[in-house]
């Protein structure tokens, strides 16, 4: 009698760590892409609602500006596991790490929107002397090993007030 060939089954079982890794990478890719698209759509909607609030980066506001108070908007965003893997590969060969550019853009837009929302709550129509600070959040051991960090904090702040029309 012939016994069934178990080489295919044993090959599949031996390669389970590879299959599991590929599945996790695929889940990270699709989940991260879905979350990013959802966040970008939310940013578009909120930016349209707050378009009437002007952000001005001048140090000295116009004489018609009546300052009210300091407002700030802060956000911490992290990259998904797929983008971290792509960034790691880019780091090995060098060059621009484009996968983090959208992360930084989304974080900057979110921080500015939070700034505008706080200004709107005060009844302000302008925020002068707007500044943006960026901080990469990591553990010191990651930096000493040359590791990449996909977590960033953006802080936007300025003086909210109204301009006489």
Query: How high does pLDDT run on average in the chain?
Result: 84
Closest C-alpha among 84, 89, 131, 88 to residue 103: 84
pTM: 0.79
Q: Span 68-94, mean pLDDT?
A: 84
- Out of 24-28, 91-95, 159-163, pick the least confident: 91-95
pLDDT of amino acid 2: 56
Q: Span 86-103, mean pLDDT?
A: 79
What fold, for 53-163? Translation Initiation Factor IF3 (3.30.110)
What span, in angstroms and rounded, lies between the C-alpha atoms of 25 and 79?
Answer: 13
| Confidence tier at 148 by pLDDT (50, 70, 90) | low
| 149 pLDDT higher than 70 | no
| 85 pLDDT higher than 70 | yes
| 18 pLDDT higher than 80 | yes
Question: Residue 144's Cα: distance from chain center in Å?
Answer: 23
What span, in angstroms and rounded, lies between the C-alpha atoms of 9 and 77?
Answer: 42
What span, in angstroms and rounded, lies between the C-alpha atoms of 141 and 124?
Answer: 44
Closest C-alpha among 139, 132, 136 to residue 150: 136
More confident residue, 104 or 117: 117
Residue 108, classed as helix, strand or coil, is helix
Where helices occur in the chain by DSSP H, the ranges are 7-14, 16-49, 81-93, 99-121, 140-144
pLDDT of amino acid 141: 45
Tell me how far CA of residue 73 lies from CA of 81, 127, 140, in angstroms: 26, 12, 26
Q: Span 102-129, mean pLDDT?
A: 94
What span, in angstroms and rounded, lies between the C-alpha atoms of 127 and 121?
Answer: 12
Structure tokens given for 14: 């031996």
């Amino acid at each position: 009698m012939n016994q069934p060939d178990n080489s295919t089954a044993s090959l599949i079982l031996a390669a389970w760590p590879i299959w599991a890794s590929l599945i996790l990478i695929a889940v990270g890719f699709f989940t991260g892409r879905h979350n990013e698209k959802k966040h970008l759509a939310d940013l578009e909607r909120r930016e349209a609602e707050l378009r009437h609030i002007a952000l001005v980066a001048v140090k000295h506001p116009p004489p018609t500006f009546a300052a009210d108070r300091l407002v700030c908007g802060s956000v911490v965003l992290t990259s998904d596991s797929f983008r971290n893997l792509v960034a790691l590969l880019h780091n090995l060969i060098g060059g621009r790490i484009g996968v983090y550019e959208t992360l930084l853009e989304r974080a900057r837009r979110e921080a500015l929107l939070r700034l505008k929302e706080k200004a709107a709550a005060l009844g302000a129509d302008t925020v002068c002397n707007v500044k943006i600070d960026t901080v990469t959040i990591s553990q010191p051991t990651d930096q000493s090993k040359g590791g990449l960090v996909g977590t960033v904090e953006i802080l936007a702040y300025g003086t909210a007030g109204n301009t006489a029309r």
